[in-house]
Structure 1
Amino acid sequence: MKILVAIKRVVDYNIKVGIKADGSNVDIDGVKMSANPFDENAIEQAIRLKEQGKATEIVAVSIGSAANQDVLRHALAMGVDRAVLVEHEAEVQSLEVAKLLKGLVEQEQPDLIILGKQAVDDDAGQAGQMLAALLNYPQGTFASALDIEANEAIVTREVDGGTETLALQLPAVVTADLRLNDPRFVKLPNLMQARKKPIETLVAADLVSDLSTRLSLLQVAEPPARKPGIKVDSVDALLQQLRAKEGIEL
């Protein structure tokens, strides 16, 4: 069984980003970048399935410029077998990502595609669902558990009322939640070895002819500042303040 895992290069989740002076976007110049955390869960689960003998090959893919090689090498260091960079200099949105992944799926013919449930930069959470729709594959989103039995992917996902378990006929698309697993620590020797491994490069235009975007970013702004609170010395004082705020007479 072949597994395809998609990885997005995002601002490291430990970094607090600022906004450009003109409000056109977030300022990421000189900011530390890393693999999207949810995508690391997807990589880890694919590797675990291979370690269990349920997968034979794991292919990692990232869409973007040559700078995306760093997250692909991180995936190689974790234990994936091959890495593919789909070069595209312009920013791509969820639908374009899904279209490009569909083109790659048609080339690679994987049995299972695993993505993070969302990216921490835009929190869209759409690419996996769109990809499944374009491929007409069954999908299991926000997976907190994933296993393979016979020709089915068994996915447990959290819903409002608790959890539900789905059996997806392969090939299928699964999006990973943080609860799925704890990604392994990447050792320095593995990182050094990953630097020597080849990364296959494809041109986005060879996979999809039309990559025109349908959404436009108008403005980015900080949320309004909250008014400072006050401190009170007792419960009676608190009740008095609350009543005064609500216009309740004592």
Structure 2
Amino acid sequence: MKVLVPVKRVIDYNVKARVKADQTGVDLANVKMSMNPFCEIAVEEAVRLKEKGAATEVVAISVGPTQAQETLRTALAMGADRAILVQTDQDLEPLAVAKVLKAIVAEESPELVVMGKQAIDGDNNATGQMLAALLDWPQATFASAVEVSGGKAKVTREVDGGLQTIEVDLPAIVTADLRLNEPRYASLPNIMKAKKKPLDVKELGSLGVDTAPHLKVVKVTEPPKRAGGVKVETAADLVMKLKNEAGVL
């Protein structure tokens, strides 16, 4: 069974994002970039499926600029077998990314697509669901446990009421939640080996996919700074402040 794992290059989660002075977007100049944390979890799960014998090949794919090769080499160092880069300098919307992934699925014919439930930059949480709709495949989102056998995937997913276990026929789309696993650290030998592995680089235009944007970013601003908290002596003081100052009562 072949598993396809989309991965995204984003601002490292330890870095505080800065808004551009003209408020047109987030400033990426001289900022540390890394693999989206949810994508790391997806890569780890795909590699674990291969180690269990449920998968035979793990293929990582990224849609982005030339620098995304570093992200793909991280996936290779973690245990992916091959990597594909669809090269573009456009900041694609989730629907456009889903269309690109559909084209790659048509070429690679995977039985399972495991991907992060969302990226920490846009927080759209939409690409996996859109890809499932475009492919007309079953989907299991927010996965916290995955078992694959007999042409089916049993997925435990996190919902508002607790945990829900569903079973989907393969091929299918699975999106990874935080508690699915703990991604491994790539060892130095594997990192060195990954640097020598060839990448399959495709130009976005060669796929014949319509990636025209449908959304326009009007303005990007930082969230307002939180005001300092205050202590109150009694419950009556608390009620008074909530009523007269906060206006929530």
Q: TM-score, normalised by structure 1?
A: 0.94
Does the 8 A contact of 1:39 with 1:115 survive in 2? yes
2:247 aligned residue: none
Shift of 1:220: 0.5
**Which structure has the larger Rg?**
1
Counterpart amino acid of 2:9?
R
1:117 aligned residue: 117
- Rounded to whole Å, the distance in 2 between the matches of 1:245 and 1:162 is 32
1:151 aligned residue: 151
Does residue 1:128 correspond to 2:125, yes or no? no
Write out aligned runs for 1:30-69 (5 A). Answer: 30-69=30-69
- Rounded to whole Å, the distance in 1 between the matches of 2:85 and 2:226 is 43
Distance 1:193 1:230, change over 3 A: same
| Unmatched runs of 5 consecutive residues or more in structure 2 | 245-249
Could you say what secondary structure the match of 1:66 adopts?
coil
Counterpart amino acid of 2:199?
I
Shift of 1:188: 1.3
- Rounded to whole Å, the distance in 2 between the matches of 1:209 and 1:144 is 32
Does residue 1:70 correspond to 2:67, yes or no? no
Shift of 1:28: 1.2
Does the 8 A contact of 1:153 with 1:169 survive in 2? yes
Shift of 1:165: 1.0
1:243 aligned residue: 240
Shift of 1:245: 5.0
Shift of 1:224: 2.2
Does residue 1:94 correspond to 2:94, yes or no? yes
Shift of 1:241: 5.1
Q: Deviations over 1:70-128 (max 9, x none)?
A: 00000000010000000111110100000000000000000000110000001000000
Does the 8 A contact of 1:6 with 1:61 survive in 2? yes
Q: TM-score, normalised by structure 2?
A: 0.95
| Unmatched runs of 5 consecutive residues or more in structure 1 | none
Q: Deviations over 1:26-63 (max 9, x none)?
A: 11100000000000110000000100111111100000
- Rounded to whole Å, the distance in 2 between the matches of 1:66 and 1:27 is 18
Q: Percent identity?
A: 51
- Rounded to whole Å, the distance in 2 between the matches of 1:209 and 1:162 is 39
Shift of 1:225: 2.8
Distance 1:75 1:244, change over 3 A: closer
Does the 8 A contact of 2:100 with 2:209 survive in 1? no
Counterpart amino acid of 2:54?
K
Does the 8 A contact of 1:99 with 1:208 survive in 2? no
Could you say what secondary structure the match of 2:22 adopts?
coil
Counterpart amino acid of 1:5?
V
- Rounded to whole Å, the distance in 2 between the matches of 1:35 and 1:160 is 28
Q: Write out the 4+ residue segments of structure 1 that deviate beyond 6 Å after TM superposition.
A: none
